[in-house]
Amino acid sequence: QKSATEMALKPSWAWQEKDAEGKTECTGPVLASVLKEAMKKTALELDANKPFNEQDLKFRSFGIFLDHAKEHTICLVKCPVHRGNVWIHHKGNEDKLPTLESIEVRDKTQKEAEDSNASALTGVQLVSGKARSKTAKYQIIQQPVAGSAVSVVGSVERPLKLSSWALWDSMKKPQFVCAPMVEQSELAFRLLCRKYGTTLAYTPMFHARLFLEDSNYRAEQFTTCPADRPLIVQFCANDPDIFAAAARMVEGQCDAVDLNLGCPQGIAKKGHYGSFLMEDMDLIYKLVNTAHTHCNVPITAKMRIFDDDAKSLQYAKMLQDAGAQIITVHGRTRENKGATATPANWEIIKKIKEHVSVPVISNGNIVTYQDVVNCLEATTADGVMSAEWLRRNPALFAGVEEQKQNPLDLTDEYLDLCGEYPCPISYMRSHCFKFLVELLNANADMRMQFVEAKSRDDLKACSAALRLRLSSTAA
């Protein structure tokens, strides 16, 4: 197998042009010049000013693979600007030098879109900007093509588009809710929580535009199974049509779709989503209402509060009016976060519950099962959501005594589920650290074994070693 340098620069791998004086080799730099002009012409934004040379190959990972046998296709160009692959097809014959007129250039996204007709299937079309960029603007197709994904009912065995209390009843009035957690509330973890009392679970927060445009992102991030019910899929978004289109893609695979309006992290500020939409009530209304109007799945919302109770009440009522069928209230402001966070305000959650007519889920201040009981009484909410402390103890909702599970048993059960429903090793490792935080604090020398684990089997071996250590100490 030849390196990119060999393929691009070695004469036997170079295009050749026949002229009156004989053969003239088309070496890497000459070919690259043509390709760069083609990329520039097709708005792929490759820097055409830098010469293509061996240093580029080494440091920019820019390789050209030539294949005369396969319809003269230059199969793959690694493009650092696009962080991916560009497919190039030479329409001439083997004896002709590629020119700007004889080359077609398609980036990976364009190729996938053309192959799968993704826009028609999702009921959305790109109307301006460039796909896979912040400039992309989409528009809902009022009448999607026949047989599209929009019309698929999927595996949810009940009528879609239930409203508020009908939706709540269809999910068997779930009181114990697993929060949406980025890269943490994945399928294996959700199923473990369900075993120990969780009655409703949210997926991790997904980026609506990436979910819409990137099939790999969808496949890697969103997995579910028949036992994973009831389920709410959460998206962050700041474009109403994109949010609605993403929601359409999961119709039939969940019970509802949630809009994240609570994320207070810096990445949400940079991306203009989550709690950083709170200054733009008109946009929030459009986000919820567009999805509510155009989708066959109920829309819900998860919000944070303002310092001003009146504004918080107005906010919640606006979400209901826009079409939110369930409202989850995190009883903290956007600024009240992290290690310095003060307790969530249950009083305002109770006021919101009294102010709206849809089910309300309370979020914040849940450490033990007794906190769950106290929260339901204090807020009169219909359900209680936990995030951080459910990560530490997936049996939190099991009951006063039942919540006291052996963390090593929980770890082993979780890793077994990961064998059936795989997820990245980083997710597994993070969960193990949360489950075993107290045991690893007391056995700090074993922490590095978990850090260095490269697979699920490695993590299981670490758990077994820790269990053996504890049993030997007890003996």
Residues carrying an active site annotation: 263
Q: Over the chain, what HEC string results?
A: CCCHHHHHHCHHHCEEEEECCEEEEECHHHHHHHHHHHHHHCCCCCCCCCCCCHHHHHHHCCCEEEECCCCCEEEEEEECCCCEEEEEEECCCCCCCCCHHHEEEEEHHHHHHHHHCHHHHHCEEEEECCCCCCCCEEEECCCCCCCCHHHCCCCCCCCCCCCHHHHHHHCCCCCEEECCCCCCCCHHHHHHHHHCCCCEEEEEEEEHHHHHHCHHHHHHHCCCCCCCCCEEEEEECCCHHHHHHHHHHCCCCCCEEEEEECCCCHHHHHHCCHHHHCCCHHHHHHHHHHHHHHCCCCEEEEEECCCCHHHHHHHHHHHHHHCEEEEEEECCCCCCCHHHCCCCCHHHHHHHHHHCCCCEEEECCCCCHHHHHHHHHHHCCCEEEECHHHHHCCCHHHCCCCCCCCHHHHHHHHHHHHHHCCCCHHHHHHHHHHHCHHHHHHCHHHHHHHHCCCCHHHHHHHHHHHHHHHHHHHC
φ/ψ of 53, rounded to 5, equals -140, -175
